[in-house]
């Protein structure tokens, strides 16, 4: 058994855990990050890729923006396609010049890991048997094994940044947290293809055969999604079937290229309240998930961590715990707005298997409305680019 200590023990080295560690470091607060996966796994894992202006501003302000400014693609609108029509939602015009930056989550993770490395404070990768205890005391503990040895990390505060399937949230005693949950009767098949995007901006398409999305990562790398069965096996989706389906649903003359990544994501909305128990604070996917239709997951994780880092700064430098006491309530206001927006975008654009036609009529009416009313379009736009 080997003992260590840190002011903040962080479970999980996704965007939430890494960014928290970085923001704490900048305030002179020490943290140790524990991660079950390897560094190369984290850097290769393909995830979402849309950054709100507020996320971009934060990354720039804390010194993480150099490559993002060079390689990120700034967009001032998205396209909605339905009933053989295409309509652009103009973010610039509707939100006073705001936009989004298309930059892959795994690139954000790479930039964060490089910054942690430069600070001499990389996570401990490939740890196992992680557990947390003594959460309602002033010295909670994280236990784990690494390289075959048992370790114990004593901290003042634990940040549960271990994603939706992590161990922090389930370590809270029954009854202390309330869960709110919705699963959707479909998933997304996501692919990455080595081909120039066939569009300048993202295309969200509603089609009788199901939803499709054309996104991108760079001038030579395209990202696509297709609504599929929630338990679809990527093996049932040979490349040809994917291109055929994309072409039909997007109603687009698509350029094809080698598919270099293929995976299925289930669709779910989930929130736990409060996002805290004793000295354990949950952030990012550990506390809430959204269906990816609104592109909010990463942005919510960043917003949580910004609130938590500020609160911890006050706590460690001035002994003031007001920010920590308000943490959950502060975050949940933004979380529920994003939950609603993501559910709404999902409901408007997907085919629901049991629908007898009523939902489809509502979807089309809603799409007509957001593409003809400036007020409705502005509501979509301000949520998409991110509320202040
Ligand atoms: N111990 C340590 N680490 C763990 C454990 C554990 N028991 N369980 C999971 N982890 C790690 C995972 O391997 C992962 O690297 O925690 C990390 C959680 O990272 P993410 O799942 O990326 O979650 P988060 O940092 O909150 O970022 C949210 O990720 O899922 C996307 O769309 C989501 O963009 C959003 C973002
Ligand atoms: C992506 O590029 O991965 C992406 C874009 C928009 C979404 C979801 C994912 O709504």
Is 215:47 a contact under the CB 8 Å cutoff?
Answer: no
**How many CA atoms, within 13 angstroms, populate the side-chain half-sphere of residue 250?**
25
Q: What is the CA(205)–ligand 2 centre distance, in A? A: 13
DSSP code, position 357: S
Q: Is the CB of 217 under 6 A from ligand 2?
A: no
pLDDT in tens, the chain (388 residues): 678 999 999 999 999 999 999 999 999 999 999 999 999 999 999 999 999 999 999 999 999 999 999 999 999 999 999 999 999 999 999 999 999 999 999 999 999 999 999 999 999 999 999 999 999 999 999 999 999 999 999 999 999 999 999 999 999 999 999 999 999 999 999 999 999 999 999 999 999 999 999 999 999 999 999 999 999 999 999 999 999 999 999 999 999 999 999 999 999 999 999 999 999 999 999 999 999 999 999 999 999 999 999 999 999 999 999 999 999 999 999 999 999 999 999 999 999 999 999 999 999 999 999 999 999 999 999 999 999 8
Beta-ladder partners of 149 = 146
Q: What is the CA(36)–ligand 1 centre distance, in A? A: 10
Q: Give the mutation target among 10, 11, 12, 167 for probing the ligand 1 site: most ligand atoms within 8 A of CB.
A: 12
Is 187:346 a contact under the CB 8 Å cutoff?
Answer: no
Q: What is the CA(216)–ligand 2 centre distance, in A? A: 8
296 belongs to the catalytic site: yes
173 belongs to the catalytic site: no
Of the listed ligands, the closest to the CA of 290 is 1
Q: Is the CB of 191 under 6 A from ligand 2?
A: no
Separation between Cα atoms, residue 362 and residue 298, nearest integer Å? 29
Q: What is the CA(134)–ligand 2 centre distance, in A? A: 39
Q: Is the CB of 292 under 6 A from ligand 2?
A: yes
Burial status of residue 24 (CB atoms within 10 A of its CB: 0-12, 13-18, 19 or more): buried
Question: Catalytic one among 25, 207, 296, 350?
Answer: 296
Q: Is the CB of 48 under 6 A from ligand 2?
A: yes
């Amino acid at each position: 058994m080997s003992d260590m200590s840190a002011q903040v023990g962080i479970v999980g080295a996704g965007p939430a855990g890494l960014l928290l560690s970085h923001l704490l470091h900048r305030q002179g607060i020490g943290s140790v990050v524990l991660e079950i996966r390897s560094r190369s796994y984290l850097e290769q894992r393909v995830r979402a890729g849309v950054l709100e202006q507020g996320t971009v501003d934060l990354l720039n302000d804390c010194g993480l923006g150099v490559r993002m400014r060079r390689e990120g693609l700034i967009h001032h609108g998205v396209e909605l396609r339905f009933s053989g029509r295409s309509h652009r939602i103009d973010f610039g015009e509707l939100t006073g010049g705001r936009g989004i930056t298309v930059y892959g989550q795994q690139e954000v993770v790479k930039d964060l890991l490089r910054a942690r490395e430069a600070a001499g404070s990389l996570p401990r990768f490939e740890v196992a048997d992680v557990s947390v205890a003594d959460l309602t005391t002033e010295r909670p503990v994280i236990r784990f094994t690494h390289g075959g040895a048992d370790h114990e990390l004593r901290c003042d505060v634990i940040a549960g940044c271990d994603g939706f399937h992590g161990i922090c949230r389930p370590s809270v005693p029954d009854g202390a947290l309330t869960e709110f949950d919705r699963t959707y009767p479909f998933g997304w098949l996501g692919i990455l293809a080595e081909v120039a995007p066939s569009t300048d901006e993202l295309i969200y398409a509603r089609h009788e055969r199901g939803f499709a999305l054309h996104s991108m990562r760079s001038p030579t790398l395209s990202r696509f999604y297709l609504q599929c069965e929630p338990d679809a096996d990527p093996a049932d989706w040979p490349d040809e079937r994917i291109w055929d389906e994309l072409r039909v649903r997007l109603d687009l003359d698509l350029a094809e290229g080698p598919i270099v990544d293929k995976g299925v994501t289930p669709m779910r909305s989930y929130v736990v309240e409060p996002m805290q128990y004793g000295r354990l604070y949950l952030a990012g996917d550990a506390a809430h998930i959204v269906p990816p239709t609104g592109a909010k997951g990463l942005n919510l994780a960043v917003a949580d961590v910004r609130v938590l880092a500020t609160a911890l700064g006050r706590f460690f430098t001035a002994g003031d715990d007001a920010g920590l006491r308000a943490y959950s309530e502060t975050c949940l206001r933004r979380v529920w707005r994003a939950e609603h927006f993501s559910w709404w975008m999902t409901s408007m654009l997907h085919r629901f298997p049991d629908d007898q036609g009523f939902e489809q009529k509502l979807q089309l009416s809603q799409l007509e409305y957001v593409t003809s009313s400036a007020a409705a379009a502005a509501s979509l736009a301000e949520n998409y680019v991110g509320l202040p």
